[in-house]
Amino acid sequence: METNLDPALSLSELLDRQLVYLCELVDTDSRPARALLTDLLGPSALRPLSRPPAWPSSVADDGTPVEFSIAFNENERPTLRVLGEALAPVPSGAANLSAARRFVRARAAEFGLPLSRFERVHEVFAAADPPNGFGIWQSLAFGPGRRPEFKVYFNPEIRGVDEAPGLVTEAMERLGLGPSCRAVRQRATRPGELGRLDRLAFFALDLHDGPHARVKVYLSHHDAQARDVVAAAGAVDGIDPDEVAEFCALAGGGTETFARRPLVGSYTFLGGARGPAGYSVYVPIRSYVDHDAEAYDRVSALLSRYGFDASVLERAIAGLTRRPLHAGVGLIAHVSLRLGPPRPGVTVYLSTEAYRVFPPRRPMAVGEPGRGEPRPLCANRSESE
Ligand code: TRP
Residue 333: left (phi > 0), alpha (psi -120 to 50), or beta?
alpha
pLDDT higher than threshold 60 for residue 369: no
- On whether the CB atoms of residues 200 and 188 are closer than 8 A, the answer is no
pLDDT higher than threshold 50 for residue 323: yes
pLDDT higher than threshold 80 for residue 121: yes
| Alpha-carbon Rg for the chain in angstroms | 20
pLDDT bin (cut points 50, 70, 90) of residue 377 is very low
**Of the listed ranges 18-22, 88-92, 125-129, the one predicted with least confidence:** 125-129
Ligand 1 centroid from CA 319, angstroms? 21
Please state the φ and ψ torsions of residue 346, each to the nearest 5 degrees. -125, 140
Q: What is the mean pLDDT of residues 119-134?
A: 88
Q: Decide whether any atom of ligand 1 lies within 6 Å of the 68 Cβ.
A: no
Q: pLDDT tens across 31-47, in order?
A: 999 999 999 999 999 99
Q: pLDDT tens across 62-91, in order?
A: 999 999 999 999 889 999 999 999 999 999
pLDDT higher than threshold 70 for residue 376: no
Q: pLDDT tens across 338-364, in order?
A: 999 877 899 999 999 999 999 999 876
Q: Decide whether any atom of ligand 1 lies within 6 Å of the 349 Cβ.
A: yes
Mark 224-241 as b/e (b = at least 16 C-beta within 10 Å): bbbebbbbbbebbeebeb
* pLDDT on residue 1: 60
pLDDT bin (cut points 50, 70, 90) of residue 368 is low
pLDDT higher than threshold 90 for residue 383: no
> How many other CB atoms are there within 10 angstroms of residue 123's CB atom?
10
Ligand 1 centroid from CA 338, angstroms? 15
- On whether the CB atoms of residues 216 and 171 are closer than 8 A, the answer is no
* pLDDT on residue 269: 94
For residue 80, give the nearest of 48, 121, 34, 14 by alpha carbon: 34
Instruction: Give percent of the chain above pLDDT 70.
Output: 93
Q: Which pTM does this prediction carry?
A: 0.93
The dihedral over CA atoms of 25, 301, 69, 154, expressed in degrees to the nearest 10, equals 160
Ligand 1 centroid from CA 59, angstroms? 6
- On whether the CB atoms of residues 220 and 189 are closer than 8 A, the answer is no
* pLDDT on residue 384: 31
Residue ID of nearest Cα to ligand 1 atom 6: 59
Q: pLDDT tens across 255-289, in order?
A: 999 999 999 999 999 977 789 999 999 999 999 99
Angle, helices 292-305/310-318, rounded to nearest 10 degrees:
150
Task: List all residues 6 or more positions away from 139 whose beta carbon is below 8 Å from its beta carbon.
Answer: 81, 82, 83, 84, 150, 151, 152, 153, 204
* pLDDT on residue 366: 62
Q: What is the mean pLDDT of the chain?
A: 92
Q: Decide whether any atom of ligand 1 lies within 6 Å of the 62 Cβ.
A: no
CA distance 177 to 171: 8
pLDDT higher than threshold 50 for residue 300: yes
Which residues lie across from 206 on neighbouring strands?
151
Residue among 57, 58, 331 to mutate when testing ligand 1 (max atoms within 8 A of CB): 58
Q: What is the mean pLDDT of residues 130-157?
A: 91
